[in-house]
Amino acid sequence: MSVKIAILPEPAIQKRIFGDSQWRQLEAIGTVVRNETAGLPTPDTLRSVIEGADFAITSWGCSKLTGDILDRAPKLQAVLHAAGTVKGIVTPELWRRGILVSSGNGPLGQGVAETALGLTIASLKNMWQLTQSTRGGGWNAGKDRIRELYEVTVGVVGAGKAGRHFIRLLRNFDVSIVIYDPILTSEQAQALGAVKADLDELMRVSDVVSIHAPSIPETYKMINRERLALMKDDAILINTARGSIVDEEALVAELRKGRLFACLDVTDPEPPAPDHPLRGLPNCVITPHIAGAVGNGVRRLGQFAIDELNRLLAGEKLEGEVKEEQLSVLA
C-alpha cells in the first residue's frame, strides 16, 4: 500500500536537507507531496501540503502543527523533524492524537561532538598560539605548552545526544571522562564509559570542560564566576551548546587573568558585539556557530528523517522519538 509523505519546509530548506539521493529514496517509499511555496510556510500552506498525509517531514522554519492543520491529515502517523529542537513545531495535539514525533538531534549532535573533539585536540596542542607565532616568523614559541589527548581528564557537561557522542569519540583515547547531568545515574554514566560527578567537582578536576547541556532556565549562566574560578590553571573551556549557559562577563574576567583558554562556538547574543571583549582576548577562540550541521552535513538530517520513516514502515522503534514529558529537559 502506497503511503503519502508531506514535505512541509519551504523549497530553500528542502534543497539544503535533501539531495538527489534522498529524493529518490522518498519517491521509492510512496507519494511525495512537496511544499512549493517560497518563504516561511503559512498555516494555509501547511494545511494544503499535509492533507491526507500518512507522514510529514518538517525542518527549520516550519510553524506549530496545530489542531486545525492536523485535522487535514487524520491518518497522520508521525512527524519527522529534519532539524534539532522540535519545540517550534509540536503542540499537545500531536501526542493526544497518537502521532509520533522524531527529532534530528542525534545526527545534529554528531557534528557538534566532532567539532568539540577537534577543538579539544587543537587547544591541547596549543595550535592557535603556534599558528599565530609561525605566521609572524616564529617557530617554537608556545611549543612547551603542548599537551596530547592522553592521561588528561575531560569533563562533559550534559548527557544528551551531543554529549553522549562526544564521550563515544573520547573513548578512542587514553583519557579519564567525568560527566555532569542531573538526570543521569552513576550506573548510566559508567555504561557510557564515564564517572558521574557534580558540576563543581567536574570543574575542579577537568583539564578540558566541554559543554553539551540544553538551554533551559535551570542552565542559565550555570557556568558562573565561582565555577570558573574552580578550574585548573591552563584548563580549556569549550562551549558548542548555547551561549546562555556561560556567564560571559565572568568568563571575560577569568580569561583576562591568563589562566584559562576558551573555545566558543556560541555566544549570547549571537553574534557578539563587534567590540565585545571576548573578540580581542588572545586566549579565546570564537567560531560563528558552526558546530552542528553545516554545508554538506545538513544532508545528514534529511537522511535521518528518511531512515526514521523506513524504521517505522519496518515496524521498528524510532531512534529520535520525542515524548511530550521530555520537553521540559530538552533544548
Cβ atoms within 10 Å of 137's Cβ, excluding its own? 6
d(CA 62, CA 58): 6
* Secondary structure (3-state) at 231: coil
**Cell numbers standing for residue 130:** 603556534
Whether the upstream peptide bond of residue 269 has omega within 30° of 0, thus cis, is yes
The per-residue DSSP string of 273-305 comes to: PTT-HHHH-TTEEE--S-SSS-GGGGHHHHHHH
Which residues are registered as beta bridge partners of 154? 177, 208
Strand (E) positions, the chain? Answer: 3-7, 30-34, 55-58, 78-81, 100-103, 153-157, 176-180, 195-196, 208-211, 236-239, 261-264, 284-286
Active site residue 289: yes
The H or E element containing residue 143 is none
Reported residue count of the chain is 331
Active site residue 242: yes
Q: Is the CB of residue 193 less than 8 Å from the CB of residue 167?
A: yes
* Among 72, 289, 311, 319, the one annotated catalytic: 289
d(CA 105, CA 322): 10
* Among 81, 212, 242, 299, the one annotated catalytic: 242
* Among 226, 249, 270, 324, the one annotated catalytic: 270
Active site residue 324: no
d(CA 97, CA 144): 62
Q: Is the CB of residue 188 less than 8 Å from the CB of residue 180?
A: no
d(CA 75, CA 13): 25
Catalytic site positions: 242, 270, 289
